[in-house]
Chains A and B, each alone.
Chain A
Amino acid sequence: MKIIVCVKQVPASTQVRLNRETGTIIREGVASMLNPYDSYALEEALRLKETLGGEVTTISMGIPSVADLLKATLALGADRAILLTDRKFAGADTLATAYALAKGINRLGTFDLIICGKQAIDGDTAQVGPSLAEKLGVPHLTNVQQIKEIDGQRIQCLRLTDAGYETVELQLPALITVVKDINLPRLPSIAGLRRALSQPVTLWTAADVDADPNHIGLQGSPTQVTSTFVPEHQRQSERFEGDASQQASQLVERLSSLGLLGPREGGLSNDQH
């Protein structure tokens, strides 16, 4: 079985800091890592390979340093890694990204299954997987929590929906996006690191994949970001000090002053304590 896994590099921090003046993510000093949802996709691909045989190829679009990230996918057990890297790809939105990935995958030849994470944790759009399937003309299924059955012809998946679950069967080749409950991704071993040392990451430019300059990078991106902002917290908290009865009195007073307790003579009052 030929499986392709799409991966993205994201900031390796659970606490993203924003520059309040410009509204952009502060990336200085923040290391990068594999998008966590993509690690579930890769793990699922590796498990399928272990049971069904075949090969796993990882693919990403990004700056040259993303090759390190792809090296890490080789250390985890991927057989081949492709990086689409070219200045012409820069500034791509989800549509242009899906187009570029589709061109790369076309160059790879035939495949049985593409697995993506359900979304990237930095952009959170969840658009690239489905867009890519449309570009490639294959069926797709999002939010897959379990692959129930798979053979050379079809795949049956349990899919998470707003209301619960549904089981869906697709004809292969197909694309699925996976949620985190699908598995627990492995960590690389030293043996994996050593193996990855001798496996190069293949670099392809826009020309290498025969990409139309009008459909890639900023030029191929209809999405316009007009402004970004840091959401303000609406909730405010206030802390009452003292022992329990002092705190209770202060709370009653505060709620009364906000008009939330009704008229004082009818409700709680200090002399009724």
Chain B
Amino acid sequence: MNELILNIKNNEFQEYLRDESRSVGQAESISFPRTIGEVKEIVAHINQQQIPLTIQGARTGLAGGAVPRRGHIMNLSRLNNIKGLRYDAASNTFFLTVEPGVLLTHLRQALQELSFPTATWTPESLAALNQLQQQGPHFFPPDPTETSASIGGMIACNASGALTFFYGPTRNYVEAMRVVLMNGHTLTLRRGQQLVQKGRFTVQTEEGYTITGQIPELSMPAVKNASGYYLKQDMDLIDLFIGSEGTLGIVVEAELRLLPTPRAIWGVTAFLPSEAAALQLVRVARGELIPDLQVPHLPRPVAIEYFNCKALDLLRKQREHNPAFKQLQELRPQYHTAIYLEWHGASDAELSQVALQLGEVIRACGGDEQDTWVATTPYDLEQLKFFRHATPESVNMLIDQRRQTEPRITKLGTDMAVPDRELTQVVELYNGDIAASGLEAVMFGHIGNNHIHVNILPRSLDEYQMGRELYLKWARAIVAMGGTVSAEHGIGKLKTAFLQEMYGQEGIEKFRAIKKLFDPQNRLNPGNVFPAGGGE
């Protein structure tokens, strides 16, 4: 056996059979390539053995994308160099080249401290670094909650976070990529260079192999979306690979676009006396005009997040009983629904004015300026972030507790988004069904994008089944509203049935045609995006 290929039977590799979705798979071997050359060597081995290949990053995904079916696991965590920096004077923009195993948290730290492993950097990269140091701090905007995510994983599922409301998803910050295809060739994709025109495209690998293809016509929902391939008649081919969940090729290098770090960042958590008041605040904050409501115009927030009354109740309980949550601020009884808003600006003075205007909006929506937490320093913002993360953390802890008595249940977390016009209806749908079913559930998430995570917390296997049925019912309703079944986590292996609901068999076949162009043997990440068994 090739020395890069390690036997998975070794106990220390068992953890690589699972990811954050908590589902467990099977595999026979695993590798940890450190160079693109090694990636190609392993691909050659896979082709020779004719076995399935599952690609892994940091295994923080929630849809089981990194969980192997069988065959070989290629774990990219050691392909993790920050390779260089480019400065484009024309657009006054910096681009950082990284390997897929770089973790978001390490990338952020390096950018914050302007400290990079420059030993192998070219003189051009070093000159760009010098320029960056002169210009001041820059950041990479995509902000999934899980900062131990890898850049490769973020590209695979086109990751999003709270700041996506303003800055958009990962896609918007990937300028170029190198991808190893299943034929062992390397494809370089650079934004603006491989354009699809009227559905047709032709690309050439570095080794000189030409791929010609047709992008099928498909109507993608006009919402934040991470379901299936990105397909448009006039598009950039790089966008096909971003969000394709590793099914078309192995991303071995990416050039990321950076933005200047805002001088001032303010976050406000506003507690409203009712859900209706909170929804009204959301609509005003994102710029909708509401008849008969006289409010000042607010600049566009970078994030609008939501916590429903059940989520706040769960946090109240955790704060009381769990020492890990003692540092949560007190949630007063009148706090019904919470909306978190964040603004980035040029100065504290500017954002202080925004906060006062927000106060007026809160009052107009029936709230009280007193019932707000304002964070203006990194220290206080960290507190509000802790509060935001405490909800999913609490849910996971509760489910782990319940699994001790009923191991077959898992958390049922939705990830669906609808168009702006459907916000009130979708909240009503969730609330009505949860109340009627008697299930325990909390809701939170990126309400600015009408992207609410409903987390059903089953207490028994019966409830778990009921929850699954509700989930499917919601998926159908949301597709009918013009929404998406996954807005940020991706389809992975757990949501393929929902993808079918969204695009129908016909749509799935269109995806499969694309898949065949780049991976005719269907060896790469089998089970991701496409329903189990199909085409294998």
A191:B372 contact, CB within 8 angstroms: yes
**Shortest distance between the CB of B298 and any CB in chain A (Å):** 13
A193:B6 contact, CB within 8 angstroms: no
B379:A193 contact, CB within 8 angstroms: no
Q: A193's contact among B113, B356, B368, by CB below 8 Å, is which?
A: B356
A107 beta carbon closer than 8 Å to chain B? no
A243 beta carbon closer than 8 Å to chain B? yes
B23 beta carbon closer than 8 Å to chain A? no
**How many pairs of A and B residues are in contact by the CB < 8 Å rule?**
72
Within 8 A of B (CB), among A39-68: 68
Given the complex of chains A and B, what is the CA–CA distance between A207 and B454 in angstroms?
Answer: 63
Within 8 A of A (CB), among B106-163: 112-113, 136-137
B376:A72 contact, CB within 8 angstroms: yes
A15:B359 contact, CB within 8 angstroms: no
A189:B327 contact, CB within 8 angstroms: no
**A197 contacts which chain B residues (CB < 8 A)?**
356
Q: Please name the residue on chain A nearest to B374 by beta carbon.
A: A188
A194:B369 contact, CB within 8 angstroms: yes
B352 beta carbon closer than 8 Å to chain A? yes
Q: Please name the residue on chain A nearest to B328 by beta carbon.
A: A184
Given the complex of chains A and B, what is the CA–CA distance between A193 and B266 in angstroms?
Answer: 13
**A15 contacts which chain B residues (CB < 8 A)?**
112-113
Given the complex of chains A and B, what is the CA–CA distance between A29 and B264 in angstroms?
Answer: 11
Q: Please name the residue on chain B nearest to A188 by beta carbon.
A: B374
Within 8 A of A (CB), among B347-377: 348, 352, 355-356, 358-359, 362, 368-377
Q: A189's contact among B113, B136, B371, by CB below 8 Å, is which?
A: B371
B252 beta carbon closer than 8 Å to chain A? no
Given the complex of chains A and B, what is the CA–CA distance between A244 and B327 in angstroms?
Answer: 40
A193:B329 contact, CB within 8 angstroms: no
Given the complex of chains A and B, what is the CA–CA distance between A190 and B370 in angstroms?
Answer: 6
B268:A190 contact, CB within 8 angstroms: yes
B288 beta carbon closer than 8 Å to chain A? no
Given the complex of chains A and B, what is the CA–CA distance between A115 and B369 in angstroms?
Answer: 29
B369:A189 contact, CB within 8 angstroms: yes
Contact (A189, B379) CB under 8 Å given A243-B6, A243-B10: no
**B330 contacts which chain A residues (CB < 8 A)?**
184
B535 beta carbon closer than 8 Å to chain A? no
A33:B379 contact, CB within 8 angstroms: yes
B192 beta carbon closer than 8 Å to chain A? no
B383 beta carbon closer than 8 Å to chain A? yes
**Shortest distance between the CB of B81 and any CB in chain A (Å):** 16
A117 beta carbon closer than 8 Å to chain B? no
Per-residue 0/1 for B1-37: is the Cβ within 8 Å of any A Cβ (1 yes, 0 no)? 0000010001010000000000000000000000000
Given the complex of chains A and B, what is the CA–CA distance between A191 and B368 in angstroms?
Answer: 8
B469 beta carbon closer than 8 Å to chain A? no
A190:B136 contact, CB within 8 angstroms: no
Contact (A191, B327) CB under 8 Å given A12-B378, A31-B377: no
A13 beta carbon closer than 8 Å to chain B? yes
A108 beta carbon closer than 8 Å to chain B? no
Per-residue 0/1 for A174-215: is the Cβ within 8 Å of any B Cβ (1 yes, 0 no)? 000000000010111111111001000000000000000000
Given the complex of chains A and B, what is the CA–CA distance between A13 and B379 in angstroms?
Answer: 8
Given the complex of chains A and B, what is the CA–CA distance between A96 and B10 in angstroms?
Answer: 65
A187:B356 contact, CB within 8 angstroms: no
**Shortest distance between the CB of B267 and any CB in chain A (Å):** 10
Q: Please name the residue on chain B nearest to A197 by beta carbon.
A: B356
B113:A190 contact, CB within 8 angstroms: no
B380 beta carbon closer than 8 Å to chain A? yes
**A193 contacts which chain B residues (CB < 8 A)?**
352, 355-356, 359, 374
B369:A191 contact, CB within 8 angstroms: yes
Contact (A29, B137) CB under 8 Å given A191-B372, A193-B352: yes
Per-residue 0/1 for A240-259: is the Cβ within 8 Å of any B Cβ (1 yes, 0 no)? 00011000000000000000
**Shortest distance between the CB of B279 and any CB in chain A (Å):** 20
Most B CB contacts (10 A, CB to CB) among A33, A187, A188, A191 go to A187
**A36 contacts which chain B residues (CB < 8 A)?**
379
A189:B372 contact, CB within 8 angstroms: yes
**A148 contacts which chain B residues (CB < 8 A)?**
none
A17 beta carbon closer than 8 Å to chain B? yes
Residue numbers of B with Cβ under 8 A of A are 6, 10, 12, 112-113, 136-137, 268, 326-327, 329-330, 348, 352, 355-356, 358-359, 362, 368-380, 383-384
Residue numbers of A with Cβ under 8 A of B are 12-15, 17, 29, 31, 33-34, 36, 68, 72, 75, 184, 186-194, 197, 243-244
The 8 closest A-B pairs by CB, nearest first: A190-B359, A191-B369, A187-B373, A190-B369, A33-B377, A191-B370, A189-B372, A190-B372
**Other CB < 8 Å A-B pairs besides A189-B369, A190-B358, A191-B368, 19 of them?**
A12-B378, A12-B379, A13-B378, A29-B136, A29-B137, A31-B377, A31-B378, A75-B374, A186-B329, A187-B329, A188-B376, A189-B370, A189-B373, A190-B268, A190-B359, A190-B374, A193-B355, A193-B359, A243-B10
26 A-B pairs in the complex with CB atoms less than 8 angstroms apart:
A14-B378, A14-B379, A15-B113, A29-B137, A33-B377, A33-B379, A34-B377, A36-B379, A75-B374, A184-B329, A187-B374, A187-B384, A188-B376, A189-B370, A190-B369, A190-B372, A191-B359, A191-B368, A192-B374, A193-B352, A193-B355, A193-B374, A194-B369, A197-B356, A243-B10, A243-B12
